[in-house]
Structure 1
Amino acid sequence: MRMGYRAKRAFYRFTVYAILLIVGVIILFPFYWMVSTAFKPRAEIVKRPPTFFPENPTIVHFKNVFAKAPYFRNLYNSLFISGMTTVISIFFSTMAGYAIARYRCIGLNFIFMLILSALMIPPFIIAIPLYMVAAQVGLVNTLWGVIVPFSISNFGIFMMRQFTLGVPEDLISSARIDGASEFKILIRIIFPVVASGCAALGILKFLVTWNDLFWPLLMLTRDDKKTLTVMLATFIDFQRFIDYGLLMACTTLVVLPVIVLFVFFQRRIIEGVAISGMKG
């Protein structure tokens, strides 16, 4: 009877690990194929049947990327835009979420419902009005023109409101009795307590901003102002010959910084995503 239980448990674990292994291979194979293609000569890329390992590895495609585009300048643009958008979003989302969660006034719930309703509006609908306003104030072809319009996140406000509701009311009341201002309470109490929520929001916002193509493609036309995603889009020409080696090399360079960030902050990323899921 005991051996039967052990056998069932071993079979269950083997099945779970086998399924996870298959899913992992399915997820990782496109990344492997991208990197493998980036190192293949052009003739080997179009070879049939395809080769799973580069027979004659080459770095000529990576050289062409650096020759045709200011990669490091575009990398700086992507990091600056994603970083500033993330910081601004965390600060103002936490501020607004704290106000909505802890203040009581007429119309506040209605405002919160409007914020949630705005989540149903596709960003493409407001793109033209936003572009017209940005053009009038001189933000076209500037990094701040990409940062400002979408730095305030409706989802971020909702998310931080949920985290702020978990802050003990006695903690806030004690700070007010000690004479702390609301801004000081926000900085000294709210932010440290909801740090996990800020991390989760920051991760999501950074990744969304890093992968965004539509708005930067509208706002940035100069090569030295483009982000990595816009630079990648300029290498795709469906009306002419598509250099798949160049495209895969550029894609590898675009996702490489995100992979490096994940390697260094994977524990924080997993904790943040898990906590955000539980709070939801």
Structure 2
Amino acid sequence: MSPRLMKAIINGLLIGGAVVALFPLLWMLSVSFMVPGEASALPPPLLPAHATLGNYRELFVRAGMGRYLLNSVLVAGAVTALSLVFNLMAGYAFAKLRFAGRERLFRALLGALVIPAQVAMLPLFLLLKYMGLVNSYAGVVAPALASVFGIFLVRQYARGIPDELLEAARIDGAGEWHIFTRIVLPLLKPIIVTLAIFTFLAAWNDFMWPLIALTGQEHYTLPIGLASLAREHAQDSELMMAGSVVTVLPVLALFLSLQRYYLEGLLLGSVKG
């Protein structure tokens, strides 16, 4: 088989796989512009006969989707920003700073990865209730301030920073905070973007913990708001697809805009690991 034919076959398979992966998203977008009941026809239409924005108006004017969207942006943004601060400092400390019990503590953290998150939800809820953080954004954000995965990811990447570079800065009189902010953070840029995307996506799509911690509808995030909307409009496929588009579109745009840095961080991390 000639190389040109082999290349054509591989490209054809990749294009076919991309079409199969993208078709549900494109059909979801198409249904969101259909009039109520149009998607229930047999066979289901691929494109709307008369495109309308009525489903989106229904979502934001009557269903309160704008409030849920704002809540998700606030919660996911706060979780991402604060967890980056804690994970970066902890990961760098485990990678480059020497202190008593460092390796034992890190191994204990890694051991916590095997514990299912659901096991900690009840004691965590009781703790937040004692602190008065139930039904507040702080109750959702606080448990996500640091993650073992984030600390591990930063540590593995930071280990690739030459010790000689840090020692030279110390000899020149630079303090640890100056070294961290002026030398280490610029070198960690690819992994910062990668971790930010991971964290934002996890916080944006999280359903279980916000459902437990938030009891008031005014604090609902998009996944919870969409689930409550499904109970009221179970047969309205067009409205539900519009809600799904509102939920998916922001994170899809974020990933596409930062995918270059995301892939760079993954590839460099695999080389340095």
Q: What TM-score does the superposition give when structure 2 sets the normalisation length? A: 0.93
Contact kept, 8 Å, 2:37 with 2:238, in 1: the verdict is no
Deviation at 1:124, TM superposition (A): 1.0
Q: Deviations over 1:78-106 (max 9, x none)?
A: 12211221122222112111211123344
Mapped partners of 1:225, 1:273: distance in 2: 34
Contact kept, 8 Å, 1:200 with 1:276, in 2: the verdict is no
Q: Decide which moves more: 27-36 or 220-229.
A: 220-229
- Gaps (5+ residues) in structure 2? none
Which amino acid in 1 is paired with 2:51? P
Q: Give the alignment of 1:12-161 within 5 angstroms.
A: 12-161=6-155
- Quickly say closer, same or farther: Cα 1:123–1:68, change in 2 above 3 A: farther
Deviation at 1:277, TM superposition (A): 4.5
Q: Deviations over 1:62-119 (max 9, x none)?
A: 1221133332332222122112211222221121112111233442211111111111
Which amino acid in 1 is paired with 2:139? G
Deviation at 1:232, TM superposition (A): 0.9
Q: Deviations over 1:205-248 (max 9, x none)?
A: 1111111111111112323211111111111229x843211111
Mapped partners of 1:190, 1:203: distance in 2: 20
Q: Give the alignment of 1:162-181 within 5 angstroms.
A: 162-181=156-175
Matched, 1:255 2:210: no
Question: Matched residue of 1:166: which SS?
Answer: coil
Contact kept, 8 Å, 2:35 with 2:52, in 1: the verdict is yes
Q: Decide which moves more: 269-278 or 36-45.
A: 269-278
Mapped partners of 1:75, 1:46: distance in 2: 27
Question: Identity of aligned pairs, percent?
Answer: 37
Q: What TM-score does the superposition give when structure 1 sets the normalisation length? A: 0.90
Mapped partners of 1:108, 1:269: distance in 2: 29
Q: Decide which moves more: 241-250 or 69-78.
A: 69-78
Contact kept, 8 Å, 2:80 with 2:199, in 1: the verdict is yes
Give the superposed CA RMSD. Answer: 1.9
Deviation at 1:194, TM superposition (A): 1.3
